Chains A and B, each alone.
Chain A
Amino acid sequence: MTELLIRNACVIDPINDICGEIMDIAVRDGKIVESVGSGAEVIDANGNLTMPGGVESHTHICGTKVNFGRYMSPEDMRAGRTARRGHMHATSGYSVPTTYGTSYRYSAMGYTTALEGAMAPLEARHTHEEFAYTPLQDMMANTLFDGNWPVMQAIHEGDHKRVAAIVGWTLAAVKGFAIKLTNPGGTEAWGWGKDVSSIRDPVPHFEVTPAEIISAMIEANEMLNLPHSVHLHCNCLGKPGNYETTLETFDLVPNAHDKRQSLYATHVQFHAYGGSSWRDICSRSEEICRSINSKPQIVMDMGQVMFGKTTTMTADGPMEFNLYRLYHNKWSNHDVELETGSGIIPVHYSRKNLVNSIMWAIGLELALLTDNPWQCILATDNPNGAPFVKYPEIIALLMSKRYRNEVFATVHPGTEHNVPLAALDRELTWNDIAIMTRAAPAKALGLVDVGKGHLGEGADADIAIYPIDITTTDPANAPQDVIRAFAQTDYTIKRGRVVCCRGTCTVDGENTTIWVKPQISENHSMEDDPEFNLNFDRYYTVRKRNYPVQEEYLHRNLCIETEAKL
């Protein structure tokens, strides 16, 4: 039995309605408890801000495409490197750090749980291998279904139970966590070098539309009783005028679940553009937020862009090729048979560039215009909008109108005519930030019941203590103090033990992989479905028997078994 007592903590725990109360937190064997004995190890929080460990609900840090981002970019690896020290291995990389680099830097910022945003099922083993070397965060993987042939065939046949059955089998086979759709239909069209242009544009050969894929998958998701909702990267990413596609997509979403959203719309900044070309692109954040504010069934994340160098990587292969034709630097693409695609290019977001400046403004507007902070999660689609190490700056921008004005004065002068940002006076509160960085992502992912995102009794003792006294700090006027505080915790505590102290990781760590296994009745099982098996072995280049990720890859893990309505 190990016990820990955090004394004198200024706690913000939105899920338990605690906002800035000075209190003690007791921990036994990795869980929050009511009280501990006198022999417990004691940490004095000194009245500093103490929150549940950060929960990242959309980031690209493990797997085939992430590793290709490293592989093709020695210049990025050189841009961030540290030597082996104590429990910390050597690290490399700035926008796409090595697995250890990612894990240490997230841990220093108080993050203890992360969702890998996109895993191709065929290459899931790779993602799980990298999870094992990301030791300080509990990990889970969005699983890509945007161009899945058996799924599209079942949708075409109108058999939505079969859709759910295929999704359920696949998630359990690859030890995935949730359904991810990246440019649904578009990644299959990209197999011919094409794309879809709207949610009503049919996918070549398969004759289903993105709208049909999205609707069927929302239905399948609820049939399978999955903890998270469908996680959607909308069609037409990055195209001027795409906000209409985004709004049309939002209109498809039923209110299908009473405890969480029915759709998680990711990196919405990239989907909130007006105009018809790069010349007249403008912000449509107001229309997007009006829709979000009227639809509690949708949660989004910002997809904030920050200025500087980074690497873009997504399953959206056609989008990356379009971006490459703008940047002309280097381009990698990796289509995955029967399933999805992917692309990678390095980018530099410049404050002197009008489009980049508009993108920067839109992300902030989404957070400021969404009435309910539970519906807008703070994220950069790491590393697409910016590396996650920029989060502290984003927090400061959201909390301080003064700081926003200071940065706004440095961006492209044409920006103000194309975005409403300058007119927005809202300044987010400490509680808003706590919601947007841990409580809301945990709730959206459906992880509150397994003890993430809060500090109630029985919750996982994942805790972040930031070196800032919120009773004496005015965030509106001290943005640099906010940035400093959120960049590095005094203590990051994971499963009840200190894993990172003022930037130094103190243990080797061992994370938990969280995955789902829907229980599906025998007559809907894909195990022995003749058609599924025949086509599998005929068209994949890996035998069905060799496809599931073996138990050996899971190490410590938490399997969420669900009762499917099938």
Chain B
Amino acid sequence: MKHYDVVCPFCGCLCDDLEITVENNRIIGVDNGCTLGNAKFMGKERLSSPIRRNGDGWETISYEEAVGYTVDMLLEADRPLLYGWSGTHGEAQCTGVHMCELVGGIIDSTTSVCHGPSILAIQEVGHPGCTLGRVKNRADVVIYWGCNPLEAHPRHMSRYTTYADGYFLDNAFRERKVIVVDVRKTETARVADEFVRIKPGGDYAVLSALRAIVRGKGDMVPASVAGVSRSQLERMVAMCKDAKFGAVFFGLGLTMTKGKYKNIRNAIELVDELSRHTKFTITPMRGHWNVYGSNEVFTWMTGYPYAIDFCRGIAFYNPGETSAIDILARKECDACLIVGSDPGAHFPRGCAEHLADIPVVVIDPVPTMTTAFANVQIPVAVSGIDAEGTAYRMDGVPIRVKKVIEPTLPSDSEVLGDIFARMKEATGYD
């Protein structure tokens, strides 16, 4: 049996044109997907039942026991952290917020180690953006800055930019100019019309130089800025000003390098400046398929996109204090529920060490690096493969991910719903 227009739950592109072939409730073929998406659909390494650490090994336990363990862990904790959320659907994220509010914990998503700085910049200066179709149909200049879509978001260029058909472009591929700014010649840089190679840590200076040139103050710019010649910067500005519609996409090469959120602020202000000459937009290349959904859900429910602390009853937000890394690094956190993410693979050593010292429950379909710190892992159906729910694309477009095979395990929202129901019962909250 073939399922058409399936949504891929891998990256923030949320491609929704995959064709999945299923036989005997097993996926046997994926068409239209990229290698990353295909691997997820074809993945076989799932856990089949909850497991609990037992000395140096693991024992299989029932869902009932696993849910009971999680409820006790959260209710007994003084400073619980509910972390992850980018690899699950919105309905599960909503339950997570309610759980966190009930226990007065901290809820944070992978945002805080990813595009968190982008959000801080947006909170200072705003965000001139658009949906990806606006870019696809109009953009004649596309800038990729500090990101490598050909390898990290493999279909971004073919669906939304360089290689996509555009209503207002006769021959989109030839008419669109691609500028890549990076510290090394990536695969994406190889297909660029203009590759701007900057020295590591030089993004802020280069952005400032570009802004100066756009404002007609190019004479203040030195002959070379972070390894980039003034003439190349001037050429880049000319391309931008001549564009009918320019679109900037940026990744962790900008958010997580020297300057962090100030880099993003500078990039947004460059777009703001260019908007006085022509149409320009900017979009973060969000990684996890539903990391933006976690920001959306947390925002409408708590007022803040990530790093929310309920310990005083109200929702309190102060990234750097209330973000996952910080709460772990300070060893404040005394229990952790991790849903749909793998901090074991990404967090600093000190945080991982603290996770090893405290009770940790992981809700995830597959064993990950984080499993190494877990006391209990509860496997679930994979959202977008055997569970349905809402996801938000990198540009904010909400899409419902589908179910192509019948689940043999409960979904994230079912498991979290059980946990929350038992927590409410135990605390007399109706």
B128 adjacent to A331 (CB under 8 Å): yes
- Check A192/B245 contact, CB under 8 A, given A541-B133, A541-B136: yes
Query: Which single residue of chain A is at the shortest CB-CB distance from B125?
Result: A330
From A14-22, A52-60, A88-96, A478-486, give the one contacting chain B.
Answer: A88-96
Of B136, B303, B314, which contacts A70 at CB under 8 A?
Answer: B303
Chain B residue contacts of A324, Cβ below 8 A: 126
B133 adjacent to A539 (CB under 8 Å): yes
- Check A545/B397 contact, CB under 8 A, given A125-B390, A191-B134, A332-B126: no
Binary CB contact string for chain A from 77 to 118 against chain B (1 if under 8 A, 0 otherwise)? 100011110000111110001111100000000000000000
Of B129, B304, B399, which contacts A542 at CB under 8 A?
Answer: B399
* Interface check A510, CB cutoff 8 A: no
Chain B residue contacts of A84, Cβ below 8 A: 101-102, 310, 313
Interface residues of A in 112-159 (CB under 8 A from B): 122-123, 125-126, 129-130, 133, 149
B400 adjacent to A331 (CB under 8 Å): no
* Interface check B7, CB cutoff 8 A: yes
With both chains docked as a complex, state the minimum distance between the C-beta of B152 and any C-beta of chain A, in angstroms. 18
From A267-275, A333-341, A437-445, give the one contacting chain B.
Answer: A333-341
A192 adjacent to B244 (CB under 8 Å): yes
In whole angstroms, how far apart are the Cα atoms of A169 and B237 in the complex? 44
How many residues of chain B get a CB closer than 8 Å to chain A's CBs?
63
- Check A191/B138 contact, CB under 8 A, given A74-B317, A321-B275: yes
With both chains docked as a complex, state the minimum distance between the C-beta of B120 and any C-beta of chain A, in angstroms. 9
In whole angstroms, how far apart are the Cα atoms of A212 and B197 in the complex? 50
In whole angstroms, how far apart are the Cα atoms of A537 and B408 in the complex? 34
With both chains docked as a complex, state the minimum distance between the C-beta of A451 and any C-beta of chain B, in angstroms. 28
Binary CB contact string for chain B from 119 to 161 against chain A (1 if under 8 A, 0 otherwise)? 1001111111111111011100000000000000000000110
Chain A residue contacts of B326, Cβ below 8 A: none
Binary CB contact string for chain A from 335 to 350 against chain B (1 if under 8 A, 0 otherwise)? 1111000001100000
Chain B residue contacts of A149, Cβ below 8 A: 167
* Interface check A304, CB cutoff 8 A: no
* Interface check A68, CB cutoff 8 A: yes
Chain B residue contacts of A101, Cβ below 8 A: 303
Chain A residue contacts of B296, Cβ below 8 A: 67, 71, 126
Of A74, A126, A550, which contacts B304 at CB under 8 A?
Answer: A74
In whole angstroms, how far apart are the Cα atoms of A332 and B122 in the complex? 8
In whole angstroms, how far apart are the Cα atoms of A90 and B298 in the complex? 12
A337 adjacent to B137 (CB under 8 Å): yes
* Interface check A540, CB cutoff 8 A: yes
Query: Which single residue of chain A is at the shortest CB-CB distance from B15?
Result: A541
B122 adjacent to A71 (CB under 8 Å): yes
B5 adjacent to A546 (CB under 8 Å): yes
Query: Which single residue of chain A is at the shortest CB-CB distance from B98?
Result: A89
Query: Which single residue of chain B is at the shortest CB-CB distance from A343?
Result: B128
Chain A residue contacts of B125, Cβ below 8 A: 330-331
Chain A contact-residue range equals 35 or more
With both chains docked as a complex, state the minimum distance between the C-beta of A537 and any C-beta of chain B, in angstroms. 8
What does DSSP make chain B's interface, helix, strand, loop or mixed?
mixed
* Interface check A291, CB cutoff 8 A: no
In whole angstroms, how far apart are the Cα atoms of A566 and B280 in the complex? 41
Of B98, B127, B134, B398, which contacts A332 at CB under 8 A?
Answer: B127
* Interface check B301, CB cutoff 8 A: yes
* Interface check A290, CB cutoff 8 A: no
In whole angstroms, how far apart are the Cα atoms of A202 and B202 in the complex? 45
Binary CB contact string for chain A from 533 to 556 against chain B (1 if under 8 A, 0 otherwise)? 000001111110110001010000
B300 adjacent to A99 (CB under 8 Å): yes
A130 adjacent to B128 (CB under 8 Å): no
B315 adjacent to A90 (CB under 8 Å): yes
A92 adjacent to B302 (CB under 8 Å): yes
Query: Which single residue of chain B is at the shortest CB-CB distance from A69?
Result: B299
* Interface check A72, CB cutoff 8 A: yes
B126 adjacent to A336 (CB under 8 Å): no
* Interface check B331, CB cutoff 8 A: no
B131 adjacent to A336 (CB under 8 Å): yes
In whole angstroms, how far apart are the Cα atoms of A364 and B125 in the complex? 33
B130 adjacent to A541 (CB under 8 Å): no
With both chains docked as a complex, state the minimum distance between the C-beta of B328 and any C-beta of chain A, in angstroms. 23
Chain A residue contacts of B17, Cβ below 8 A: 543
* Interface check B272, CB cutoff 8 A: yes
A337 adjacent to B136 (CB under 8 Å): yes
* Interface check B284, CB cutoff 8 A: no
Binary CB contact string for chain B from 283 to 318 against chain A (1 if under 8 A, 0 otherwise)? 000000000000110011111110000101111010
B136 adjacent to A126 (CB under 8 Å): no
Chain B residue contacts of A67, Cβ below 8 A: 296, 299-300
B124 adjacent to A330 (CB under 8 Å): yes
In whole angstroms, how far apart are the Cα atoms of A46 and B310 in the complex? 40
Of B123, B137, B279, B304, which contacts A92 at CB under 8 A?
Answer: B304
In whole angstroms, how far apart are the Cα atoms of A542 and B314 in the complex? 38
- Check A81/B397 contact, CB under 8 A, given A133-B301, A191-B245: no
In whole angstroms, how far apart are the Cα atoms of A344 and B245 in the complex? 20
With both chains docked as a complex, state the minimum distance between the C-beta of A154 and any C-beta of chain B, in angstroms. 16
* Interface check A205, CB cutoff 8 A: yes
With both chains docked as a complex, state the minimum distance between the C-beta of B252 and any C-beta of chain A, in angstroms. 20
* Interface check A193, CB cutoff 8 A: yes
In whole angstroms, how far apart are the Cα atoms of A332 and B130 in the complex? 10
With both chains docked as a complex, state the minimum distance between the C-beta of A437 and any C-beta of chain B, in angstroms. 26
B134 adjacent to A337 (CB under 8 Å): yes
- Check A72/B126 contact, CB under 8 A, given A89-B101, A133-B300: yes
Query: Which single residue of chain B is at the shortest CB-CB distance from A541?
Result: B133
* Interface check B168, CB cutoff 8 A: yes
* Interface check A215, CB cutoff 8 A: no
With both chains docked as a complex, state the minimum distance between the C-beta of B164 and any C-beta of chain A, in angstroms. 8
A193 adjacent to B278 (CB under 8 Å): yes
- Check A335/B134 contact, CB under 8 A, given A74-B123, A543-B17, A546-B399: yes
B128 adjacent to A332 (CB under 8 Å): yes
* Interface check B417, CB cutoff 8 A: no
* Interface check B410, CB cutoff 8 A: no
Chain A residue contacts of B162, Cβ below 8 A: none
In whole angstroms, how far apart are the Cα atoms of A513 and B210 in the complex? 49
B5 adjacent to A545 (CB under 8 Å): yes
Chain A residue contacts of B392, Cβ below 8 A: 126
Chain B residue contacts of A540, Cβ below 8 A: 133
In whole angstroms, how far apart are the Cα atoms of A336 and B399 in the complex? 15
30 residue pairs bridging A and B, Cβ less than 8 Å apart: A67-B300, A68-B127, A68-B396, A70-B300, A71-B299, A71-B305, A74-B317, A77-B317, A83-B313, A83-B314, A89-B301, A90-B314, A98-B315, A99-B301, A100-B301, A122-B131, A123-B397, A192-B279, A332-B122, A334-B131, A335-B281, A337-B132, A337-B133, A538-B165, A539-B167, A540-B133, A542-B16, A542-B133, A543-B5, A546-B16
Interface residues of A (CB under 8 A from B): 62, 64, 67-68, 70-74, 77, 81-84, 89-93, 97-101, 122-123, 125-126, 129-130, 133, 149, 190-193, 205, 321, 324, 330-338, 344-345, 538-543, 545-546, 550, 552
Interface residues of B (CB under 8 A from A): 4-5, 7, 16-17, 90, 94, 98, 101-102, 119, 122-134, 136-138, 159-160, 165, 167-168, 244-245, 272, 275, 278-281, 295-296, 299-305, 310, 312-315, 317, 388, 390, 392, 396-400
Known: A71-B295, A81-B314, A337-B136. 18 other contacts (CB 8 A): A68-B127, A70-B299, A77-B317, A81-B303, A83-B314, A84-B102, A93-B303, A98-B302, A100-B301, A123-B398, A192-B279, A333-B129, A334-B396, A335-B129, A337-B137, A541-B159, A542-B399, A552-B400
**8 A-B pairs with least C-beta separation:** A337-B133, A92-B303, A83-B313, A77-B303, A193-B279, A335-B130, A330-B126, A125-B398
